[in-house]
Amino acid sequence: MDFLNVVEIESALIGLASKYPTISQLITLPFFTFEGRQTHALLIGTGNGCPQTGVLLVGGTHAREWGSPDICVNFAADLLEAYTDGTGLTYGGTSFTSADIVEIIERLDVIVFPCINPDGSKHSHDVFNMWRKNRNPASSGGDANKIGVDINRNYDFLWDYKTKFATGANPNSLASDNPANDLFHGTAPFSEPESQNAAGYTNSIRRSVGSWTFTRTAVTYCIPGVTM
């Protein structure tokens, strides 16, 4: 099975935004990766409601998880096509009617960010398929085995895992402050451009009860169920 590479993922987002300009918008994320890549997300929705409730779908956080970017891209394409053609969607044993699709597009903002970690993804595809982290060399001390940060552990939520979890918890399964570890959480919360992009392309972000709240151009997005 062939998987999309980082160039193809970006091309797919650009193509979808171009094909469906009235119900999608290409979002340019502000922070460049350490290898100089700029990533994009796709905002799907009519924007009729304000404040608008949104759902954030992310993929490619861990470089070796090749399937998640493809799933995100294909889902975005399915959703846009179904709304335009007036059809429903079926995934496994679950079906959504055309009316369901209309409600999703017209009442939600669906933000699809297929590949948070393009540097790591390219390295995984081209060099070492089990690579997990990004490619930030800052904490490596010149050791290639210590390059990178686990983006999934770099958010502010429970970043200080040694004090936030119960004393009986095994810290080695939660995160690590050792750059040689695949779970290395970085030097500080949001130290990495990838986690900053994933947390929001907005100019402010805060933790609220049960949801992430993004503020963008005076519109508040409540993103339920974001896991770290």
* pLDDT of 212 above 70: no
Let me know the angle formed at the C-alpha of 170 by 166 and 172, rounded to the nearest 5 degrees. Answer: 130
What is the rounded average pLDDT of the residues 77-103? 97
Confidence of residue 217 (pLDDT cuts 50, 70, 90): very low
CA distance 31 to 201: 9
Question: What would you measure as the largest C-alpha separation in the chain, in angstroms?
Answer: 56
Mind listing the pLDDT tens digit for each residue in 179-200? 999 999 999 999 999 999 988 6
Pairing assessment for the beta strands 108-113 and 40-44 based on DSSP bridges: antiparallel
| Dist CA 115 CA 136 (whole Å) | 16
Q: Decide which of 3 and 165 is more confident.
A: 3
The first and second tokens of residue 98, run together, are 């055309």
Q: How far apart are alpha carbons 69 and 5 in whole angstroms?
A: 9
pLDDT tens-digit series, residues 6-48: 999 999 999 999 999 999 999 999 999 999 999 999 999 987 6
Strands 53-58 and 108-113: parallel
Which of 142, 225, 137 has the alpha carbon at shortest distance from 184? 137
Q: Given the DSSP bridges, would you call strands 40-44 and 53-58 parallel, antiparallel or unpaired?
A: unpaired
pLDDT of residue 172: 67
Q: What is the pLDDT of residue 209?
A: 26
Amino acid 48: pLDDT = 66
Span 77-87, mean pLDDT?
98
Token digits for 158? Answer: 């429970």
Cite the beta strand spans of the chain per DSSP E. 24-28, 40-44, 53-58, 89-91, 94-96, 108-113, 204-208, 211-216, 219-224
| pTM, to two decimals | 0.84
Tokens 């009729």, residue located: 48
d(CA 71, CA 151): 19
The pLDDT value recorded for residue 198 is 86
Alpha-carbon dihedral of residues 169, 173, 199, 136, nearest 10 degrees? 140
Q: Which two tokens stand for residue 196?
A: 């900053």
pLDDT at 122 over 70: yes
Residue 64: its pLDDT value, please? 96
Which pLDDT band, with edges at 50, 70 and 90, does 90 fall under?
A: very high
- Is the Cα dihedral 47, 43, 106, 225 positive or negative? negative
* pLDDT surpasses 50 at 57: yes
Q: Which amino acid is at 158?
A: L
215 pLDDT above the threshold of 90: no
pLDDT at residue 1 in the model? 67
CA 8 – CA 51 distance, rounded (Å): 33
